[in-house]
Amino acid sequence: MILLDPKNDYIFKRLFATAPHLLSALINAVRHEEEPVEVIEVLNPRIEPEDLAGKFIVLDVLARGRQGRPAPQGGRARLDRLGHVF
């Protein structure tokens, strides 16, 4: 069985763009001291050819808190493959 490395940008985006519940779990694990969020939508689910040539791939997400309030930054966040929110 071949295991895929989730630190690879392409694998990361393919995995989390198609499974928002897993992305929510990752974000909540990274921000464990903050209110949990739910990913509503991945705003850029496609991987364009120019993305593969760049330094890294970014996932833009729309999220809200579990209470229904928009997540910090108006509910939008950018996430890189290491789980850093910026």
Q: At residue 75, does pLDDT exceed 60? A: no
How confident is the model at residue 25, as a pLDDT?
92
Is residue 45 within 8 A of residue 17, CB to CB? The reply is yes
Q: What is the pTM of this model?
A: 0.67
- 45 backbone dihedrals φ, ψ, rounded to 5°: -70, -20
CB atoms within 10 A of CB 29: 10
Over the stretch 4-53, which tens digit does the pLDDT of each residue have? 887 777 888 888 888 889 988 988 898 888 888 888 888 877 877 776 77
How do 59-65 and 76-79 pair as beta strands? antiparallel
Phi, psi (5° rounding) for residue 70? Answer: -60, 145
